[in-house]
Amino acid sequence: MRPEEARLNPDGFLAGWSQKEITRLMYTLLVVVSASVAILVWYSVRLVEWYAREPVIDYELVTPTTPDEKKILDKPSIKASGTTAIQCYAPATGEFLGFVNPVTPEGIDRAIEKTQAAQKKWAYTTFSQRRQVLRCIQAFILKNQDEICRIACLDSGKTMIDATLGEILVTVEKLSWTVLHGEKALRPSRRPTNFLMAYKANHVEYEPLGVVAALVSWNYPLHNLVGPMISAIFAGNGIIVKASENTAWSAAYFSLIVKGALHVCGHDPNLVQAVTCWPQTASYLTSHPSISHVTFIGSRPVAKLVAASAAKSLTPVVAELGGKDAAIILDSAKKDLPRIIEILLRGTFQAAGQNCIGIERIIALPEVYDQIVKALEPRVRALRVGSILDAPKDQQVDVGAMISDVSFGRLENLIQLAVKDGARLLVGGSRLHHPIHRSGHYFQPTLLVDVTQDMAIANEECFGPVCTVMRASTPDEAVTMANAPNFGLGASVFGSWDWAMRIVVKKLKTGMVAVNDFAAYYAVQLPFGGVGGSGYGRFAGEEGLRGLCNIRSVCDDRWGWAGIRTAIPAQIRYPIPETGRGYNFTKGVVNIGYGIGLKGRLEGLKGMWKSR
């Protein structure tokens, strides 16, 4: 035996190995480790280069301030006598914040002109340049989230927790998703061809529309304003956002967050514009011939006006119109009720119920109904209402103010009618006269149970801190109840993932469903939108980005370099030499391409041969 083949007797896993085998193992390990290190270094260099191309640049903004002399309005309203300006105030306290001059039609023209000029250059930016802007926006929001939340709370009346969840979290998620996945959604995509057109290569391109518009609601003043800007500019567009007059005070500052990022990255900040106007002026924007697309977030009656206005210039509209979202609790959820109760409370009372995908109805099956009512009553009764910005540090606030008191009479009437028809009012039910903030807009957190489908409150959107509980005897009945109102935005279903759950999810007539959760689809950037009275079209996700593009189909020559291109056969060239022969020839072509089986295609070939 040669020395290198001598058997060794070391301890451990090498026991009995020869010197040659050990050497071979060491060389193999050396190659694997070297290759792994090389791959790791290569990817690290690429990662550093990627980030170097899109560096985050810090910038600062001047935050809005309130008047030096604090003034509490006696009967706060956005309309003030003696002026056409929008009167801004804090819904939680009635504190006067200032006046904002509404934009005029001439002002809208100027804004569109500036945005058009900026967009012509922006359309030719790379995805990397666009990502850099979004990274800067995200960094600014995370760095300044305390101040951003404070401003959102002051202008809309919500709590700091509601602002963090509904303004910060969802906005940075949209930014993060777009940075990570936006380019993939908008890159040209290859499409299949067929037998007759095998010499053609097909792809779809997504090019900018130009200048788009968004009309947004007041319930999330940062997110609703900045969200459409994120998608629009990443798709290569410019955008005009019409902010709600109810949150006009914060709109300018929130728009500056995007403008500031554009500026520090070397782009024209006029690419995005935020305007505020009275309703009678908004139609000038939606019908403007220079607007290529309109996104509307608001009520159904206003949506009809927006759609009619946009139709004048044949401008496409995406409409998100709120909902009457149901949370269905199946009997199989019995063991999970403690967790579910927490989700139901958050889903109902988040932002004082002013949430388009908030839980408006809890539909419970027999085995869980009584337990849910029993668990909810003390929790709803314990909710504390007030202004988080003005409360002492040792005082807790669970639910903030509503944006105005305009809906209070309607809510009280819906609740009173339901009680008259047999519903039980366990907590709340009317406006709250706050002992400290007498000019604030507060409604008592309300728990209404034994609600039936024929009651108005089961079919009309409350958009307030009202928890309604309904009883269903079977999963089928629960689905029927959930689908009954003329809304179809979102829904939640709780229970075991079994056949009953699958049937419920499949039968729900909504645009979105969260299983064993509330509104989870919005936290992962799935396409957002509803059906029926909740609107049409989608924003967010790939579908939302592509909806802001001209989707252009391109069919080119696969082998053009070889001279293989479409040529018109002699039998059908104008003027056609012989009509009958030409017809038989084209019939043969159809059979070759689409004949059933080999026999059908051979018949097509035979027909072409006879017509040659």
Q: Which two tokens stand for residue 228?
A: 């459409």
Q: Are 221 and 155 within 8 A, CB to CB?
A: yes
CA triplet 541, 546, 550: central angle to 5 degrees?
170
Q: Which two tokens stand for residue 81?
A: 């006598």
Of 54, 95, 245, 320, the catalytic one is 320
Give every CB contact of residue 478 below 8 A, 6+ residues apart in sequence: 328, 330, 363, 365, 472, 504
Which residue reads 């792809």 in tokens? 203
Print the SS3 string covering 67-82: CCCCCECCCCCCECCC
Strands (E), 343-461: 361-364, 424-427, 431-432, 442-443, 446-451
| Distance between CA atoms of residues 87 and 278, nearest Å | 12
| Distance between CA atoms of residues 580 and 222, nearest Å | 68
463 φ/ψ angles, rounded to the nearest 5 degrees: 55, 50
Strands lying side by side in the sheet with 317-320: 272-276, 238-243, 211-215, 294-297, 317-320, 535-536
Is 320 assigned a catalytic role?
Answer: yes
Which residue reads 């056609």 in tokens? 576
Q: Report helix angle 127-143 to 145-156, nearest 10.
A: 80
What does each C-alpha distance from 521 to 491, 517, 598 come to in angstroms? Answer: 10, 9, 48
Q: Which two tokens stand for residue 359?
A: 């839980």
| Distance between CA atoms of residues 77 and 506, nearest Å | 45
22 φ/ψ angles, rounded to the nearest 5 degrees: -65, -40
**Ramachandran assignment for 372, one of left (phi > 0), alpha (psi -120 to 50 degrees), beta (any other):** alpha
> 3-state class of 158 per DSSP?
coil
Of 88, 136, 153, 356, the catalytic one is 356
Q: Are 483 and 350 within 8 A, CB to CB?
A: no
What does each C-alpha distance from 397 to 90, 160, 351, 382 come to in angstroms? Answer: 16, 9, 12, 11
CA atoms within 13 A on the CB side of 544: 26
Give every CB contact of residue 525 below 8 A, 6+ residues apart in sequence: 173, 174, 177, 181, 540, 541
Q: Are 610 and 582 within 8 A, CB to CB?
A: no
Which residue reads 């009317």 in tokens? 430
Instruction: Tally Cβ neighbours within 10 Å of residue 117.
Output: 14
Give the residues across from 297 on adjacent strands. Answer: 320
- Let me know how long the chain is: 612
**Ramachandran assignment for 236, one of left (phi > 0), alpha (psi -120 to 50 degrees), beta (any other):** left
**Known catalytic residues?**
320, 356
